[in-house]
Structure 1
Amino acid sequence: MASKRTAFLFSAVVATSSAIVGPARAQPYPSQDVHFICGFAAGSGADVIVRYFAEKLRPLMGHSIIVENKVGAIGNLATEYVARARPDGLTIYVTGASGVAANMHIFKNPSVDAANALQVVATINKATMMLGVRADAPWQTAPELSAAMKLKGDKASYATANPTSKVLGALYKERAGLQSVEVPYRTGADFLNDLYSGNIDYALPDNIQAMAQARAGRMRILAVGAGERMRAAPELPTMTELGYQMDVRTWWAGLVPAATPRPIVDQLNVWFNQVVATDETRTFLANIASDPWVSTPDEAQAYFRAQIKDWGDYVRVAKIEPQG
């Protein structure tokens, strides 16, 4: 009888110990503050999106989300930082994934292989870069701008500030038969004074910056780089319908180091999708002329890999010489 009682007590102790140890091993995610990485400067169009999602995801995650701006090499610095971070779901790259894909070809020797170093946890939107001029410029349409730039020859100039604007600018130049000189800027905000003072003839801003400047009455948007009109801004013509064949789309996503455990990837996908599905976020995205996009991690990763290949084609067609 004593031996049976001893065996029962031993079993109870083991069961209790297991109940304590089990949860301790599987701590809830996240167990501490999360860091959102932005590859561009505070106040930039990219920063606006990153901070919006940080604010909306904070209550779902139950921890503070700290936004860090890792600026340099048109986003490459941030890409490398995230790829080399601990794969614990606490470092999340909220960025234009199209820019990450483009950088794999704009630079001769990228510091990381993005297709294998990063995992897309969720998509956010689809958008495009835009062709813009100052609001008081004499050109009302892209063909009018093209005609004027042809007359200026290599005295014409345009501004770019990220990989996708660089490609769109080169494609427009090639398709329109221009000799315009590219002037690269560190951020989109940096070229505004030069554009509005007339030192730069036109610019290829992202949708966020372009729409904000247009609503403020400072910029006129002449066209978008996507192959079809954006649902969020159907009044804006595409470059293709104006005679400049191209389909340069941008898209935003959340990415983590590739070795991040699948349960964390799946949980992040659920949270991001919840935020994208809200009316508030859909209005936010519409206001920056972008269309919401929800997908699974597997769908998003497959698209990311395909985009890396596609951007190689864009860079070659645009005749961009890889840097460094």
Structure 2
Amino acid sequence: MHSKRLGTLSAAITRRDMLGSGAALVTASALGTPVWGQEKYPSREVRVICAFPAGSGADVFARYFAENMRPFLGGTVIVENKVGASGNLAINFAARAKPDGYTILIHAPSAIAANMSLFKDPGYDAAKAFDVLGSVCRLPFTVTVGAKSPHKTLQDLIKTLQQKGDKASYGTTAPTGQVAGALMKDILKLKMVEVPYRTAADSVNDLESGNIDCMMYDPIFAMPFHRNGKMRVLALSSKERMTTAPDIPTMNESGVPGVDVVGWWGVAVPKGVPEPIKAQISKAFIQMAEKPETKKWLAEFGSDPFIVGPEDAQKLMLQDIKDWGRYVKIANMEPKG
């Protein structure tokens, strides 16, 4: 009888241990902890892909987040610049990367969506190529002039652009700026000519010398120059003023009605990354974004906090695909070949 009870007890312990092990396995998997046959993530360098060159606003942004994600992700994070085709080169590189969590795109999901309409063949389908794992901030583009420019307001600039006709010019370096500038041109029936620059830094001398009338810069690049007096931001492309730059009026307020073109920045990975790894990347990104130091840093660049998780971020990118199709039509922009 004693032997029979011992056998029953032994069987109960075995079942209990097996159930406990199974629960531990599920928990470990959900947390990204290595389980049988799996390596810990990250076990090697994680590459953050940046779509623009070193020194650009996008590069400053990507490097800040790469550096500050490290302690939350628990591994080494390096930045690689893949420059070309208005950011499309980097987006395609990331879309085709092995979906193992070791290639991350820190970029504007709004730009990923925009390129679906800005290019005849962007080389990827935004809805199918990426999972957006979170967002950190919104950034309108800026209408910016050089420090020596006589124009103190957007209305001052508009009068000059009207007088110069097709001798007037505006510079762009990214899709959001292209659309903001094209909308301004279309709404006001201006004849100004777009001058595309490979990078924002490439345009500085032309802006300072007056060879170009104004630039459509991202605020990450423009705001530090604005604050130190080396450039002057006249207006923002958002519908409402930014809470972090309340002194700068919008294009709507300044005589260009109907403009509300805002980019937002986040983190994306190619489709197919395992769910536990996506959860780990998303958590690290959002934890870093919620730091007071991060919010203060972002405020210096004229961006408003916009922290959302994977589900909402993915929905927003899908909505942006539709919105940018509309923007491009309104602005009468011809998709690039």
TM range (shorter): over 0.9
- Give the drift of 1:26: 3.1
Q: Percent identity?
A: 47
The C-alpha deviation readout for 1:142-165, integer Å capped at 9, x for no partner, is 111111111100001111001111
Instruction: Indicate the residue corresponding to 2:173 in structure 1.
Output: 161
- Give the drift of 1:24: 3.7
* Native 8 Å contact 1:168 1:204 kept in 2: yes
Which is further off, 56-65 or 229-238? 56-65
* Native 8 Å contact 2:286 2:309 kept in 1: no
Instruction: Indicate the residue corresponding to 1:318 in structure 2.
Output: 331
Instruction: State the distance in 1 between where 2:277 and 2:93 align.
Output: 19
Instruction: State the distance in 2 between where 1:134 and 1:158 align.
Output: 12
Amino acid at match of 1:318: A
Instruction: Indicate the residue corresponding to 1:129 in structure 2.
Output: 141
**2:133 counterpart SS class:** strand
Amino acid at match of 1:97: P
1:201 aligns with 2:213: yes
* Native 8 Å contact 2:108 2:265 kept in 1: yes
- Give the drift of 1:177: 2.1
- Give the drift of 1:27: 2.5
Amino acid at match of 1:136: K
* Native 8 Å contact 2:72 2:288 kept in 1: no
- Give the drift of 1:35: 0.2
Q: How does 1:253-272 map to 2 (within 5 A)?
A: 253-272=266-285
- Give the drift of 1:318: 0.7
Instruction: Indicate the residue corresponding to 2:29 in structure 1.
Output: none
Amino acid at match of 1:207: P
CA RMSD across the alignment? 2.1
TM-score for the superposition, normalised by structure 1: 0.92
1:187 aligns with 2:199: yes
* Native 8 Å contact 2:73 2:280 kept in 1: no
- Give the drift of 1:77: 0.5
Q: Which runs of 5+ in 2 are unaligned?
A: 26-33
TM-score for the superposition, normalised by structure 2: 0.89
Partner residue of 1:249 out of 262, 266, 270: 262
**1:234 counterpart SS class:** coil
Instruction: Indicate the residue corresponding to 2:293 in structure 1.
Output: 280
Q: How does 1:168-183 map to 2 (within 5 A)?
A: 168-183=180-195
Partner residue of 1:60 out of 72, 81, 104: 72
* Native 8 Å contact 2:236 2:248 kept in 1: yes
Instruction: Indicate the residue corresponding to 1:231 in structure 2.
Output: 243
The C-alpha deviation readout for 1:50-104, integer Å capped at 9, x for no partner, is 0001111112222211100000100001111111111111100001222221111
Instruction: Indicate the residue corresponding to 1:107 in structure 2.
Output: 119
1:301 aligns with 2:314: yes
**2:313 counterpart SS class:** helix
The C-alpha deviation readout for 1:207-239, integer Å capped at 9, x for no partner, is 111101112211111100000110110111011
Amino acid at match of 1:311: W
Instruction: State the distance in 1 between where 2:184 and 2:112 align.
Output: 21
Instruction: State the distance in 2 between where 1:113 and 1:172 align.
Output: 29
Instruction: Indicate the residue corresponding to 1:93 in structure 2.
Output: 105
Amino acid at match of 2:301: I
**2:145 counterpart SS class:** strand
Amino acid at match of 1:302: K
The C-alpha deviation readout for 1:258-299, integer Å capped at 9, x for no partner, is 111222222212111111111100001100000122112111
* Native 8 Å contact 2:172 2:194 kept in 1: yes
* Native 8 Å contact 1:210 1:221 kept in 2: yes
**1:26 counterpart SS class:** coil
* Native 8 Å contact 1:122 1:268 kept in 2: no
Instruction: Indicate the residue corresponding to 1:289 in structure 2.
Output: 302
Which is further off, 174-183 or 67-76? 174-183
- Give the drift of 1:166: 0.5
Instruction: State the distance in 2 between where 1:273 and 1:202 align.
Output: 35
* Native 8 Å contact 2:72 2:287 kept in 1: no
Amino acid at match of 1:310: D
Instruction: Indicate the residue corresponding to 1:31 in structure 2.
Output: 43
Instruction: State the distance in 2 between where 1:293 and 1:316 align.
Output: 27
Instruction: State the distance in 2 between where 1:318 and 1:198 align.
Output: 26
* Native 8 Å contact 1:153 1:178 kept in 2: yes
Q: Which runs of 4+ in 1 moved over 3 A?
A: none
Amino acid at match of 1:177: K
- Give the drift of 1:172: 0.9
Instruction: State the distance in 2 between where 1:24 and 1:60 align.
Output: 24
Amino acid at match of 1:306: Q
Which is further off, 122-131 or 95-104? 95-104
- Give the drift of 1:123: 0.6
* Native 8 Å contact 1:265 1:297 kept in 2: no
